[in-house]
Chain A
Amino acid sequence: MVQAVLVMLAVAFIAFTMFNFVGDPVAIMAGQDLPAEQRVELRKTLGLDDPTPVRFARFVANAAQGQFGLSYRTTEPVGRMILDRLPATLELSLIAVLVALVIGIPMGVFSGLYPHHWISRAMMTVSLIGISLPTFLIGILLILIFAVMLGWLPSFGRGDTVKIGFWTTGFLTVSGWKAIILPSITLGLFQMTLIMRLVRSEMLEVLRTDYIKFARARGLTNRAVHFGHALKNTLVPVITITGLQLGSIIAFAIITETVFSWPGVGLLFLQSVQAVDIPVMAAYLVLIGLLFVLINLIVDVLYFVVDPRLRSQGAKAGAK
């Protein structure tokens, strides 16, 4: 927990320094012909005259309340802007991870159980494509095939959305579901192949262990041996990787969102970079840092659920 807080402080510090290094905000905000007195005035009202530690403390305090100031580009509150777009990115990432897990794990299990089957070989070859093709190319290819040539699915946007509180969801409309298919496949394909290869190699490893041999010697059914005993033992590394990848999916949704004009945080970030909109960039950085930290915490908790050996070590460490 202490570690998590330290990580967040470090991320905040980096985000904060961006303000100082990417030029003078006053020079950017104010026009060239603003008198010098007014510049000083503006500087004072914005609190830019205070010493660095004080300003950093203020930044952290505001960030903790979700306040990152006003956007230079649109003069909207940054927190609002991000919050408006966050549901789009989270929904996209969620579907991408689900696609990756739901397809990747069974494929990995199959190719682990029957490594010489032709289907396994075919999957391994296809997975090479998934790993080596860049995301934007996959996205463009999918658009070309399914949106342009076949015309089945939309090539951009979220479709119709429904607003529930602050959360806008595309899950409640048909066009929303249609719109999410291509971007989520694009985003999840790399993760899917990664998970498939990971599960495969873990399965191969676990199937060689003594307890699997002993489980067979006890006359358990193949289903019990493969899915009860073998698969559960492959899950610890899969959870780790999925957790880490979930973070990167959210962070690297930037590219997919750009290709599909998906109105999410990634697209916002890219637009902000082009406009040197530092408050938005800083907020995005802090947000992604926070997501990574949260995901890692969840992953650690999941370890304890899956592996009893860690539980007792934790208990022992707690008793000391």
Chain B
Amino acid sequence: MTSPKLLEVRNLRVEFPTRRGTLVAVDDVSLDIAAGEVLGVVGESGAGKSMTGAAIIGLLEPPGRIAAGEIRLEGRRIDNLPYNEMRKIRGRQIGAIFQDPLTSLNPLYKVGDQLIETILTHLPLTQAQARDRAVKLLEDVGIPSASERINHYPHQFSGGMRQRVVIALALAAEPKLIIADEPTTALDVSIQAQIITLLKRLCREHGTAVMLVTHDMGVIAETADRVAVMYAGRIAEIGPVQDVIKRPHHPYTIGLMGAIPTMTHKVERLTQIDGSMPRLNAIPKGCAFNPRCPKAFDRCYRDRPDPMPAGNSLAACWLVEEKAHV
């Protein structure tokens, strides 16, 4: 049976060995992405969203390493591939976009050369064909007079334009999945919307799936098909975006949704979640959210919940089980 899932992540655990013990940045995370689907991953800084992305593309910064679990791309296990095998997957099967477009491009090379280099690495084309493709890619991402701009250096582009170039680079070899790690965080608000729209359009046209890592719920609501909410290295809740936004089950997700300003009804104060996320070396026993959870009860301090079915979603909360019993 062929799996309909493009990417399957099972029980992924990412560890950082340090002098003062091992930090667990990603703990027992499982998620799937179907072909052409946009999965949003939200969470606070340090929740493990970027680490999950880096682990999938095989670019964890040492000493970080995948300690357990497996990652499968179209059924093929990719988390234990030798470096050079994984390199062939990067760019060709899985593309990546990073946070800061200003520093993602090598300042010493023309953008065209960087595009052609990427294309020639992965596709059996001649120099001239690669060049035509590079121009076409730049046109696709909405860069005016692309055939001229191809000879420009990164510093001759504005931030938004550079992120377009980065997207063109990520799409250069038609990957099936793009890991977009906070692709708009470093940009102007007005540019953010453009870039998200562009990314969404291109991925629909090319049938590319996206793992969109961000802490901007607005971006997720607009773009994603499904969303995973991460907290302290684990998935708190994962499900279709409308369900998670309208009918959140995990108290953390409920808190997050309450903290988003809306246009439809006026609220005096946005709700806030008291406290802050625990540091990775001081994650409490039981549910990691228990010190901040308004509904925590004794079991939450004892056992750690795994994601369990809650409506159309999965939520890692004992309350879900309680409700099911009632």
Contacts and interface: CB of A to CB of B under 8 A. Distances in A.
Interface string B77-109: 000000110011111100110101001111111
Contact of B57 (A217, A221, A222): A217
A37 interface: no
Given A219-B121, A220-B117, A312 B155 contact: yes
A127 B45 CA distance: 42
Given A307-B108, A312-B156, A218 B118 contact: yes
A312 B108 contact: no
Contacts of B122: 219
Contact of B121 (A214, A221, A229, A308): A221
B166 A219 contact: no
B102 to A, nearest CB: 9
Contacts of A312: 153, 155-156
Interface string A302-320: 0000111100100000000
A241 to B, nearest CB: 18
Interface of B: 57, 59, 83-84, 87-92, 95-96, 98, 100, 103-110, 117-118, 121-122, 153, 155-156, 166, 169-170, 172-173
Chain A interface secondary structure, helix, strand, loop or mixed? helix
Contacts of B96: 214, 217-218
Contact of A218 (B103, B109, B110, B169): B169
Interface in A18-52: none
B201 to A, nearest CB: 22
A211 B103 CA distance: 6
28 contacts: A209-B103, A210-B100, A211-B106, A211-B107, A213-B59, A213-B98, A214-B96, A214-B104, A214-B105, A214-B166, A214-B169, A216-B90, A217-B98, A218-B91, A219-B89, A219-B121, A219-B122, A220-B121, A221-B87, A221-B121, A229-B106, A233-B108, A306-B108, A307-B107, A309-B107, A309-B153, A312-B155, A312-B156
Contact of B104 (A211, A232, A307, A309): A211
B110 to A, nearest CB: 8
Nearest to A235: B108
A224 interface: yes
Q: Which of A209, A214, A222, A233 has the most CB of B within 10 A?
A: A214
A222 B82 CA distance: 13
A229 B122 CA distance: 18
Q: Which of B92, B104, B121, B173 has the most CB of A within 10 A?
A: B104
A153 interface: no
A123 interface: no
Given A210-B100, A229-B106, A232-B108, 12 more contacts: A214-B98, A216-B87, A218-B91, A218-B118, A219-B92, A220-B117, A222-B87, A233-B106, A308-B110, A308-B155, A309-B107, A312-B156
A217 B156 contact: no
Contacts of B110: 308
B172 A218 contact: yes
Interface residues of A, number: 23
Contacts of B104: 210-211, 214
Nearest to B173: A219
A215 interface: yes
A219 B88 contact: yes
Q: Which of B57, B95, B117 has the most CB of A within 10 A?
A: B117
Q: Which of A210, A224, A232, A309 has the most CB of B within 10 A?
A: A210
Contacts of A228: 117
B100 A219 contact: no
Contacts of B95: 217-218
A218 to B, nearest CB: 4
The 8 A-B pairs of least Cβ separation, nearest first, read A219-B91, A217-B96, A219-B90, A210-B103, A308-B153, A218-B91, A214-B104, A211-B106
B310 to A, nearest CB: 35
Contacts of A307: 107-108
A219 B106 contact: no
Contacts of B166: 214
A220 B118 contact: yes
